[in-house]
Protein backbone atom coordinates (compact mmCIF):
# COMPACT_ATOMS: atom_id res chain seq x y z
CA UNK A 1 0.00 0.00 0.00
CA UNK A 2 1.28 3.40 -0.94
CA UNK A 3 -0.33 6.64 0.29
CA UNK A 4 -1.10 9.52 -2.07
CA UNK A 5 -3.54 12.43 -2.49
CA UNK A 6 -5.27 14.37 -5.22
CA UNK A 7 -4.19 17.98 -5.55
CA UNK A 8 -6.65 20.85 -6.12
CA UNK A 9 -6.64 20.11 -9.88
CA UNK A 10 -7.52 16.43 -9.44
CA UNK A 11 -3.99 15.14 -10.09
CA UNK A 12 -2.52 12.32 -8.05
CA UNK A 13 1.23 12.15 -7.48
CA UNK A 14 2.28 8.58 -8.12
CA UNK A 15 4.78 6.96 -5.74
CA UNK A 16 8.23 6.36 -7.25
CA UNK A 17 7.67 2.60 -7.70
CA UNK A 18 4.54 3.23 -9.79
CA UNK A 19 6.24 6.01 -11.76
CA UNK A 20 8.99 3.58 -12.74
CA UNK A 21 6.44 0.94 -13.72
CA UNK A 22 4.44 3.38 -15.88
CA UNK A 23 7.61 4.82 -17.46
CA UNK A 24 8.66 1.31 -18.50
CA UNK A 25 5.38 0.61 -20.33
CA UNK A 26 5.61 0.50 -24.14
CA UNK A 27 2.56 2.82 -24.33
CA UNK A 28 2.34 5.63 -21.79
CA UNK A 29 -1.44 6.13 -22.06
CA UNK A 30 -3.54 5.04 -19.11
CA UNK A 31 -7.25 4.55 -18.46
CA UNK A 32 -8.53 5.74 -15.07
CA UNK A 33 -11.97 4.49 -14.05
CA UNK A 34 -14.00 2.43 -11.57
CA UNK A 35 -15.62 -0.94 -12.17
CA UNK A 36 -17.87 -0.85 -9.10
CA UNK A 37 -18.21 2.89 -8.30
CA UNK A 38 -16.37 2.25 -5.01
CA UNK A 39 -12.68 1.68 -5.87
CA UNK A 40 -10.82 3.43 -8.69
CA UNK A 41 -8.49 1.63 -11.07
CA UNK A 42 -5.58 2.85 -13.16
CA UNK A 43 -4.96 0.62 -16.19
CA UNK A 44 -2.17 0.73 -18.75
CA UNK A 45 -3.99 1.32 -22.03
CA UNK A 46 -2.93 -2.09 -23.40
CA UNK A 47 -4.54 -3.82 -20.42
CA UNK A 48 -7.62 -1.62 -20.80
CA UNK A 49 -7.96 -2.66 -24.45
CA UNK A 50 -8.11 -6.30 -23.26
CA UNK A 51 -11.02 -5.31 -21.02
CA UNK A 52 -12.81 -3.59 -23.89
CA UNK A 53 -12.41 -6.74 -25.98
CA UNK A 54 -13.77 -8.77 -23.05
CA UNK A 55 -16.83 -6.47 -22.85
CA UNK A 56 -17.51 -6.98 -26.58
CA UNK A 57 -16.96 -10.73 -26.71
CA UNK A 58 -18.07 -12.08 -23.32
CA UNK A 59 -21.24 -14.14 -23.49
CA UNK A 60 -21.41 -15.42 -19.91
CA UNK A 61 -22.77 -13.29 -17.08
CA UNK A 62 -23.93 -10.67 -19.58
CA UNK A 63 -25.84 -8.62 -16.97
CA UNK A 64 -22.73 -8.15 -14.80
CA UNK A 65 -20.55 -7.36 -17.83
CA UNK A 66 -23.03 -4.68 -18.98
CA UNK A 67 -23.02 -3.06 -15.53
CA UNK A 68 -19.23 -3.02 -15.33
CA UNK A 69 -18.92 -1.71 -18.90
CA UNK A 70 -21.37 1.08 -18.11
CA UNK A 71 -19.57 2.05 -14.89
CA UNK A 72 -16.16 2.12 -16.54
CA UNK A 73 -17.40 4.18 -19.50
CA UNK A 74 -19.38 6.57 -17.32
CA UNK A 75 -16.55 7.32 -14.89
CA UNK A 76 -13.49 6.62 -17.03
CA UNK A 77 -11.11 8.73 -19.05
CA UNK A 78 -7.76 8.30 -20.72
CA UNK A 79 -4.84 9.96 -18.99
CA UNK A 80 -1.07 10.18 -19.06
CA UNK A 81 1.43 10.61 -16.29
CA UNK A 82 2.98 14.07 -16.55
CA UNK A 83 6.67 14.89 -16.16
CA UNK A 84 6.18 15.32 -12.40
CA UNK A 85 4.65 11.85 -11.98
CA UNK A 86 1.01 12.98 -11.68
CA UNK A 87 -2.12 11.46 -13.19
CA UNK A 88 -5.34 13.44 -13.59
CA UNK A 89 -8.60 11.88 -12.40
CA UNK A 90 -11.85 12.74 -14.22
CA UNK A 91 -14.01 15.14 -12.12
CA UNK A 92 -17.01 12.78 -12.11
CA UNK A 93 -14.84 9.91 -10.87
CA UNK A 94 -13.43 12.09 -8.08
CA UNK A 95 -16.92 13.15 -6.96
CA UNK A 96 -18.60 9.76 -7.26
CA UNK A 97 -15.88 7.95 -5.27
CA UNK A 98 -15.29 10.84 -2.83
CA UNK A 99 -11.55 10.88 -3.53
CA UNK A 100 -10.83 14.53 -2.72
CA UNK A 101 -9.32 15.98 0.47
CA UNK A 102 -8.11 12.70 1.96
CA UNK A 103 -5.30 10.19 1.88
CA UNK A 104 -5.72 7.61 -0.86
CA UNK A 105 -4.15 4.16 -0.82
CA UNK A 106 -2.64 2.65 -3.95
CA UNK A 107 -2.25 -1.08 -4.35
CA UNK A 108 -0.78 -2.97 -7.30
CA UNK A 109 -3.13 -5.71 -8.49
CA UNK A 110 -1.69 -8.91 -10.01
CA UNK A 111 -3.63 -8.33 -13.23
CA UNK A 112 -1.58 -5.26 -14.20
CA UNK A 113 -3.61 -2.39 -12.78
CA UNK A 114 -3.40 -0.12 -9.75
CA UNK A 115 -6.34 0.06 -7.33
CA UNK A 116 -6.99 3.41 -5.64
CA UNK A 117 -8.88 3.24 -2.35
CA UNK A 118 -10.44 6.11 -0.48
CA UNK A 119 -9.94 6.15 3.28
CA UNK A 120 -13.42 4.62 3.74
CA UNK A 121 -12.73 1.80 1.28
CA UNK A 122 -9.29 1.20 2.79
CA UNK A 123 -10.82 0.80 6.27
CA UNK A 124 -13.53 -1.51 4.87
CA UNK A 125 -10.95 -3.71 3.14
CA UNK A 126 -8.78 -3.71 6.27
CA UNK A 127 -11.71 -4.90 8.42
CA UNK A 128 -12.41 -7.70 5.93
CA UNK A 129 -8.75 -8.75 5.86
CA UNK A 130 -8.57 -8.78 9.66
CA UNK A 131 -11.38 -11.34 9.77
CA UNK A 132 -9.24 -14.09 8.23
CA UNK A 133 -9.53 -17.30 10.20
CA UNK A 134 -6.82 -19.80 11.10
CA UNK A 135 -8.61 -22.30 8.86
CA UNK A 136 -8.53 -19.93 5.88
CA UNK A 137 -4.85 -19.17 6.43
CA UNK A 138 -3.99 -22.87 6.73
CA UNK A 139 -5.93 -23.60 3.54
CA UNK A 140 -4.07 -20.94 1.57
CA UNK A 141 -0.74 -22.21 2.92
CA UNK A 142 -1.71 -25.71 1.83
CA UNK A 143 -2.32 -24.29 -1.66
CA UNK A 144 1.27 -23.03 -1.75
CA UNK A 145 1.49 -19.68 0.06
CA UNK A 146 4.86 -19.53 1.79
Query: 54: domain CATH number?
Result: 3.40.1550.20
Q: Which domain holds residue 106?
A: 2-119
Whether residue 145 lies inside any domain: the answer is no
Would you place residue 134 in the very low, low, confident or very high pLDDT band (cuts 50, 70, 90)? very high
Would you place residue 16 in the very low, low, confident or very high pLDDT band (cuts 50, 70, 90)? very high
Whether residue 42 lies inside any domain: the answer is yes
Please report the pLDDT score of residue 3 as a whole number. 96
- Please give the tally of structural domains in the chain: 1
Whether residue 124 lies inside any domain: the answer is no
CA–CA separation, 30 and 113 (whole Å): 10
CA–CA separation, 135 and 142 (whole Å): 10
Please report the pLDDT score of residue 59 as a whole number. 87
Whether residue 144 lies inside any domain: the answer is no
Please report the pLDDT score of residue 110 as a whole number. 87
Amino acid sequence: MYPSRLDDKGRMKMPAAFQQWISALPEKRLFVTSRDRRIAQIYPIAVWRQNEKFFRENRSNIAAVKKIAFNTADLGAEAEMDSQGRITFHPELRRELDLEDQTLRLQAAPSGRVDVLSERMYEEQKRLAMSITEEELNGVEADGLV
